[in-house]
């Protein structure tokens, strides 16, 4: 990050020299081709129209004028309109020293400056157990929270429970029907009931504990019983998946405390509510939504939006600076109406981010597995976790952008081979642990870094590793900029690949003590970064496999 800042400052000085006063944000990316350096910028393309020159002409002139710190940047070149920067060996070695000094803090920063962020995560309706798709959202949200904490934000993870409404009534009717069936009664199953086997199991537990004493109970009893049982199951599944929830909030509590009516009064006072055709409407179209939304129906019942508005207003009242919601893609229609409501209540739209995650396409033996909570045709998070393991599942769930569909291959996830990216990364760490175990057995302890000649690390494989190690803090920071996490597992895969290549071509423990010490330092640096990256993903770094 400090290197990027130095490069940006040198570009800004060069821009002033050619009297360019207005220019877009200077973006620095890693070139696709290694021969094009370590960092590259396309700033010349944005200046072409204003300066009435080609990007190549502008980039060549800037490359001549850019004067970065010579201890950090070895040379600056122009390639097809891009300006490329090459790091010095010294900067690579200094970074390795920093890794060894900072250890678990390498990659961490104070970027967030203590700002309070609340992440609403999972928030699955308590009508059934978590399925594999919910697991993706949970892993993504927890990893994002870990990353935000690593860069200095105060993060609270929250689960919002929609525990009232038609869906809960249908759940109660469904459990009652299954319970009475177990008691030998013939009952008609509700038209919109939940048909999953999990409800039969809940009904059986109720019968085994209480017998037939609840034969004449009202629907409310069965609704509450099913709700409690399912929520407890969700809590256990999340705990076993390594997901910690700091707070649980119920929609019913918002209603009981009058917070929903309070929010509606505020909207009405500000002129954003009106009556039409017997219903109460929110003027969300005035604030970026495609149309106005019903808040209260003709029969007097409130819509989900009414409770959501109150819930999010309550979050801000609790002192959070920024809100992030992690929702399934099927909630995309609610994004703009909710942001419009926050704007109407006086909160900047940018203070609420809603990140959507796409479905998981699960296949078994080449055949897709259908998932429908109501029909009971789904694979639970628990089942997949038991089959492939928690760490594998978390890694796979974070490998793609949340906005991309995820094809989850169960057979690949179970393989212990380089084809499996999780195994490949964990095996790299296990190999490193093995190297240090052998070094200890041979009484070859790594010297203090000040006494090691790092200039002995000069092979292409060693240089590739050093260049990758220097990118880790920037990779972490980039995840915060776009609220995506897939850069971490992809980076770890690349680092593991470079390490395996190095390991297969070079000996770490050799007769050359100076070279051995230098390579032990390099390998230790790789191990630290692998552990730090896996820790962000909530995954263990095994010492043997």
Phi, psi at 485, each rounded to 5°: -120, -5
Dihedral of alpha carbons 161, 163, 165, 166, sign: positive
From CA 448, how far away is CA 468, in angstroms rounded? 23
The beta-carbon contacts of 318-321 under 8 Å, at least 24 apart in sequence, are 318/118, 319/116, 320/116, 320/117, 320/118, 320/156, 321/115, 321/116, 321/117, 321/351
Domain total in the chain: 3
pLDDT digits (tens, 9 = 90+) for 482-493: 999 999 999 999
pLDDT digits (tens, 9 = 90+) for 77-101: 999 999 999 999 999 999 999 999 9
77 lies in the same domain as 173:
no
pLDDT at 295: 96
The region of weakest confidence among 41-50, 374-383, 400-409 is 374-383
61 lies in the same domain as 97:
no
C-beta separation of 110 from 150 below 8 A: no
| Residue 303 maps to a domain | no
pLDDT at 367 over 80: no
499 lies in the same domain as 441:
yes
514 lies in the same domain as 483:
yes
Stated length of the chain: 545
From CA 93, how far away is CA 455, in angstroms rounded? 8
530 lies in the same domain as 421:
yes
81 lies in the same domain as 97:
no
435 lies in the same domain as 490:
yes
pLDDT at 363 over 70: yes
pLDDT at 390 over 80: yes
* Between 112 and 371, the higher pLDDT residue: 112
Residue 26's domain comprises 2-87
Q: In what order do the strands lie in the sheet with 367-368?
A: 367-368, 360-364, 406-409
Last residue of a domain, one of 215, 240, 265: 240
12 lies in the same domain as 97:
no
pLDDT at 373 over 60: no
Give the DSSP H/E element, type plus range, for residue 258.
none
| Residue 220 maps to a domain | yes
Average pLDDT on 427-452 reads: 96
CATH code of 516's domain: 1.10.730.10
462 lies in the same domain as 531:
yes
pLDDT digits (tens, 9 = 90+) for 455-483: 999 999 999 999 999 999 999 999 999 99
Q: Could you tell me the pLDDT band of residue 62, with boundaries at 50, 70 and 90?
A: very high
C-beta separation of 213 from 232 below 8 A: no
Longest dimension (CA), the chain: 89
| Residue 169: partners with Cβ closer than 8 Å, 6 or more residues away | 219, 223
| Residue 404 maps to a domain | no
Q: Could you tell me the pLDDT band of residue 371, with boundaries at 50, 70 and 90?
A: low
| Residue 143 maps to a domain | no
pLDDT digits (tens, 9 = 90+) for 494-540: 999 999 999 999 999 999 999 999 999 999 999 999 999 999 999 99
Task: Calculate the average pLDDT of the chain.
Answer: 94
Tokens standing for 156? 């609270």
pLDDT at 378: 73
Q: What is the 3-state secondary structure (H, E, C) of 347-373?
A: CCHHHEEEEEECCEEEEECCEECCCEC
From CA 387, how far away is CA 64, in angstroms rounded? 58
Pairing of strands 293-296, 367-368: unpaired
pLDDT digits (tens, 9 = 90+) for 17-42: 999 989 999 999 999 898 999 999 99
Last residue of a domain, one of 175, 206, 240: 240
Last residue of a domain, one of 87, 114, 148: 87
pLDDT at 364: 72
Q: Could you tell me the pLDDT band of residue 372, with boundaries at 50, 70 and 90?
A: low
Give the residue carrying structure tokens 């009242």.
317
The beta-carbon contacts of 56-65 under 8 Å, at least 24 apart in sequence, are 56/80, 56/81, 59/83, 61/18, 62/11, 62/14, 62/15, 62/18, 65/13, 65/14, 65/17, 65/18
| Residue 133 maps to a domain | no
C-beta separation of 354 from 298 below 8 A: no
40 lies in the same domain as 98:
no
60 lies in the same domain as 97:
no
Q: What is the pTM of this model?
A: 0.94
Nearest partner of 272 among 252, 289, 257, judged by Cα: 289
pLDDT at 325: 98
Beta bridge partners of 231: none
| Residue 267 maps to a domain | no
pLDDT at 21: 87
CA angle 334, 336, 337 (to 5 degrees): 65
| Residue 489 maps to a domain | yes
| Residue 36 maps to a domain | yes
pLDDT at 343 over 90: yes
45 lies in the same domain as 98:
no
Beta bridge partners of 324: 119, 353
pLDDT at 20: 92
pLDDT at 230: 97
């Amino acid at each position: 990050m400090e290197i990027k800042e130095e490069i940006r400052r040198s570009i800004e000085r060069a821009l002033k020299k050619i009297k360019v006063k207005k220019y877009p944000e200077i973006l620095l990316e890693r070139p696709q081709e290694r021969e094009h350096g370590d960092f590259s910028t396309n700033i010349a393309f944005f200046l072409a129209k204003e300066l009435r020159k080609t990007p190549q002409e502008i980039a060549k002139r800037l490359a001549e004028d850019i004067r970065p710190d010579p201890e950090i940047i070895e040379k600056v070149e122009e390639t097809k309109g891009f300006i490329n920067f090459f790091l010095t060996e010294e900067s690579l070695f200094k970074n390795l020293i920093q890794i060894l000094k900072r250890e678990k803090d390498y990659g961490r920063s104070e970027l967030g400056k203590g700002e309070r962020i609340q992440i609403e995560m999972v928030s699955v309706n308590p009508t059934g157990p978590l399925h594999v798709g919910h697991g993706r959202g949970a892993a993504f949200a927890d990893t994002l929270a870990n990353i935000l904490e690593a860069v200095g934000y105060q993060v609270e993870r929250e689960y919002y429970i929609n525990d009232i409404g038609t869906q809960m009534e249908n759940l109660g009717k469904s459990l009652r029907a299954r319970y009475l069936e177990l008691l030998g009664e013939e009952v008609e199953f509700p038209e919109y009931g939940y048909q999953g086997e999990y409800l039969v199991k809940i009904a059986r537990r109720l019968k085994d504990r209480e017998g037939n004493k609840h034969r004449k109970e009202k629907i409310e009893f069965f609704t509450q019983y099913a709700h409690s049982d399912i929520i407890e199951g969700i809590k256990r599944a999340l705990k076993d998946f390594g997901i910690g929830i700091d707070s649980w909030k119920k929609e019913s509590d918002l209603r009981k405390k009058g917070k929903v009516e309070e929010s509606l009064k505020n909207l009405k006072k500000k002129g954003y509510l009106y009556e039409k055709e017997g219903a109460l409407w929110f003027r969300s179209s005035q604030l970026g939504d495609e149309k106005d939304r019903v808040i209260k129906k003709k029969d007097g019942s409130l819509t989900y939006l009414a409770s959501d508005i109150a819930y999010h207003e309550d979050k801000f009242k609790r002192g959070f600076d920024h809100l992030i919601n992690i929702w399934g893609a099927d909630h995309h229609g609610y994004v703009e109406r909710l942001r419009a409501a926050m704007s109407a209540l006086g909160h900047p739209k940018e203070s609420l981010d809603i990140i959507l995650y796409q479905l998981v396409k699960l296949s078994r033996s080449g055949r897709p597995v259908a998932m429908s909570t109501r029909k009971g045709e789904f694979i639970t998070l628990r089942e997949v976790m038991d089959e492939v393991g928690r760490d594998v599942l978390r890694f796979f769930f974070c490998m793609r952008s949340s906005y991309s569909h995820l094809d989850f291959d169960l057979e690949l996830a179970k393989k212990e081979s380089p084809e499996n990216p999780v195994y490949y990364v964990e095996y790299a760490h296990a190999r490193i642990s093995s190297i240090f175990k052998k070094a200890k057995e041979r009484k070859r302890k790594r010297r203090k870094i000040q006494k090691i000649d790092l200039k002995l690390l000069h092979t292409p494989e060693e240089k590739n590793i050093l260049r990758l190690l220097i990118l880790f803090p920037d990779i972490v920071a980039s995840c915060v900029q776009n609220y995506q996490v897939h850069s971490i597992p992809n980076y770890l895969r690349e680092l593991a690949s470079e390490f395996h290549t190095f390991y297969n071509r070079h000996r770490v423990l050799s007769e050359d003590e100076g070279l051995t010490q230098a390579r032990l330092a390099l390998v230790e640096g790789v191990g630290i970064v692998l552990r730090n990256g896996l820790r962000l993903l909530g995954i263990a770094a095994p010492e043997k496999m």
